[in-house]
Structure 1
Amino acid sequence: MKIAFKMKLKPGFKEEYQKRHAALWPELRDLLKANGISDYSIFLDEETHILFAVQQQSGASSQDLGNTEIVQKWWAYMADIMETNADLSPVSIPLPQVFHMD
């Protein structure tokens, strides 16, 4: 199943966001893959600072792994450049699919 969601980057942090994701922690990558998450892409609307994420999943969404220590560390690491909830998880809004073309 493919899912999409949006988050928000704080203005002026595009390069830092890209830098941190280019060096994604191997243990986080392994956790995502072990939970059936693949083909994961994040796009940025530079006018609104909205991050648009799409991922293929055969198990839990990446947004469902917040009870793991590594995800909580990643959230804390990213909290200074993104809009977050009180637990430091990114404010994440699921997006319903309204069209798909094979």
Structure 2
Amino acid sequence: MIRKAFKMFLYPGMEEEYEKRHNMLWPEMKEMIHAHGGHNYSIYLDRETHVLYGYIEIEDETLWAASADTPVNRRWWDFMADIMETNEDNSPVCVDLTPVFQLD
């Protein structure tokens, strides 16, 4: 299993809306994440900075990268674009974090 951590950027005042949308995550989005090898996915919010910190375990980098081009993922990006920083294709601005310590 490959561990990945990253940060994204929520617009101020959108904390409740972000949580609401994720609490109602589409079943087809959940299925897509699992079908592309994603497991143990968590997102945390720093309310002072509006930075979202994500953690996911994936089976394979190539399989996971392919999830970005699925129709359901593209719809999700469009759905979330109004409440967070995005790129031109509506993908979230996402910065990978460098692992520096891990304890099992």
TM superposition score normalised by structure 2: 0.93
Q: 1:89 to 1:62 in 2, by over 3 A?
A: farther
3-state SS, counterpart of residue 82 of structure 1? coil
Residues paired across the two proteins, number = 102
The runs of at least 4 consecutive aligned structure 1 residues that moved more than 6 Å come to none
Q: Is the 8 A contact 1:35 1:60 kept in 2?
A: no
Percent identity (aligned): 46
Q: RMSD between aligned alpha carbons?
A: 1.6
Q: Which 5+ residue runs of structure 2 have no aligned equivalent?
A: none
Cα distance in 2 for partners of 1:44, 1:96 equals 18
1:21: which partner in 2?
Answer: 22
Cα distance in 2 for partners of 1:75, 1:63 equals 16
2:94: which partner in 1?
Answer: 92
- Taking the TM superposition and a 5 Å limit, the aligned residue runs for 1:46-61 are 46-60=47-61
Q: Which 5+ residue runs of structure 1 have no aligned equivalent?
A: none
Please, which of 72, 75, 92 is the counterpart of residue 73 of structure 1? Answer: 75
Cα distance in 2 for partners of 1:27, 1:50 equals 26
Q: CA deviation at 1:13?
A: 0.7
Q: Which is richer in helix? A: 2
3-state SS, counterpart of residue 66 of structure 1? helix
1:12: which partner in 2?
Answer: 13
1:30: which partner in 2?
Answer: 31
